[in-house]
Amino acid sequence: MRFIYIIGFFIIVEIYAFQLIRVLAKGHWWKWVYLAVSILIFLNVVLQFYLSPDRTQVVPVRDFAVTLFLAFLAAKTVFLLIMFFEDVVRIVEGVISLSRKHNSTDLEGMSDTSSSFLPSRRSFIAKTGLALAALPFGAILYGAWKGKYNYQVREYELSFDDLPEEFNGYKISQISDIHVGSFDDKDEVAYAIDLVNKQQSDVILFTGDLVNNVARELYGWEDILGRLKAKDGVFSVLGNHDYGDYVNWVSQSEKRKNLEELFQIQKNMGWRLMMDEAHEIKRGTDSLHIVGVQNYGGGRFPKYGNLDKASASLSDSSFKVLMSHDPSHWELQVKDHPKKFHLTLSGHTHGMQFGVEIPGFFKWSPVSFVYKRWAGIYKELDQFLNVNRGFGFIGYSGRAGIWPEITVITLKRA
């Protein structure tokens, strides 16, 4: 169904784009070159997915085809938006002009109809649109070349009135959405894992989507991911991709076997997978609780998690750090839960791997139309939510403007 929507959107965009290009070309032959290139890029994407349907495997040719398609689509979308707004202005100008002509009808009841209803398109606007369209085109290509491994460490200091004294200054490193089946450069990933360890945090928390679809994606990556070390351990939860829900399994037993293998690999790497449960970390007489729930998301995403079960053994006043993959869970259940979860760590959105961020001033991504909270720190009712931008990538084999993230959060007593 998603492919039908994409094809439909592509056809609508292409029809409008070609009409604009045809007008701008003014009879020149290059409009047919443009149309041929656009169609070939689209057909190449369809062909590559037909030849390589297994998305659990890295296929460079297929990834490049997707990147090129997205780059052209993003460029055309920007160009069309600019030209669409100009068309709206032209229609308004045409209506005003037509109205004035009717009001100035001469005594014989005749009006001047020699000029066209719509004013002609402005060449300057079209050239500006083409120039601006080049920006997302170049950004997406750069994101596939360099951006996907442009790891950023984002540091936050969060204050709490009721943080236990012994945990003042406690450091948490969070990573999310590894999507190991998409990686094509072990050296870059190994560098990022070492970068996580260099933060020397007290605990490392991974908030889901270790794989794209199946456990075998982890083969050959266990040693690199198993390097993650922290004094209080490495904890993880499941994301929507980890369950194998997007695979056409021969049987349910095969699907369960895949999930069990994913559990075992994480255990072998020294990670503790949290399945609707809590873990107590002690410092002297003080305690901090790590709570991990299975995936629980809004819309079409699965709801496996049981927050009540995970927090059943905890008091309302105990200090809690919750790991929940999908940030929509915070809105659906977490922030109004009577147990009070002081800090929730999520991922899932990836920031759509494309957007614009000027730290402290501006932050935008197309995913903001879907998720109210999609990247960074949010606070409500004296509770914090951090949405990690993701460690890996999926679909588009790159990142443009929304870089892969390692979050370091220091807890402070207010």
Per-residue pLDDT tens digits for 20-34: 777 777 777 778 888
Q: Does residue 163 share a domain with residue 93?
A: no
128 pLDDT band, cuts 50/70/90, is confident
Residue 110 and residue 61 share a domain: yes
- Is the domain of 141 the same as that of 155? no
| pTM of this prediction exceeds 0.85 | yes
Q: Do residues 29 and 175 both lie within one domain?
A: no
Q: What domain range is 198 assigned to?
A: 151-413
Same domain, 292 and 184: yes
- pLDDT above 70 covers a percentage of the chain that reads 93
| Helix (H/G/I), strand (E/B), else coil: 351 | helix
Which domain-ending residue is among 118, 145, 172?
A: 145
Do 52 and 136 have their domain in common?
A: yes
Cα distances from 380 to residues 160, 341, 377, 383, 384, in angstroms, run 13, 11, 10, 5, 7
Instruction: Please count the other Cβ atoms lying within 10 Å of the Cβ belonging to residue 217.
Output: 24
* Residue 282 and residue 371 in one domain: yes
Comparing CA positions, the residue from 60, 395, 335 lying closest to residue 209 is 395
Tokens read off for 282: 């002690």
What does the pLDDT read at residue 120? 63
Q: Which helix (H) or strand (E) holds 158?
A: strand 152-160
Q: What is the CATH number of the domain that holds 168?
A: 3.60.21.10
Domain termination residue (choose one: 145, 176, 197): 145
C-beta of residue 90 within 8 angstroms of C-beta of residue 97: no
Spatial separation of the C-alpha atoms in residues 169 and 155, rounded to whole Å: 13
Question: Same domain, yes or no, for 196 and 266?
Answer: yes
pLDDT digits (tens, 9 = 90+) for 372-392: 999 999 999 899 999 999 999
Q: Is the torsion defined by CA of 220, 48, 50, 41 positive or negative?
A: positive
**Domain boundary, last residue among 100, 116, 145:** 145
Whether pLDDT at 110 is above 60: no
- Number of domains observed in the structure of the chain: 2
User: What is the average per-residue pLDDT within 58-62?
Assistant: 86
Same domain? 169 vs 298: yes
- Please report which helix (H) or strand (E) contains residue 411, including its range: strand 405-413
What local confidence, expressed as pLDDT, does residue 22 receive?
73
Residues 236 and 122 in one domain: no
Residues 164 and 137 in one domain: no
Pair 286, 321 in one domain: yes
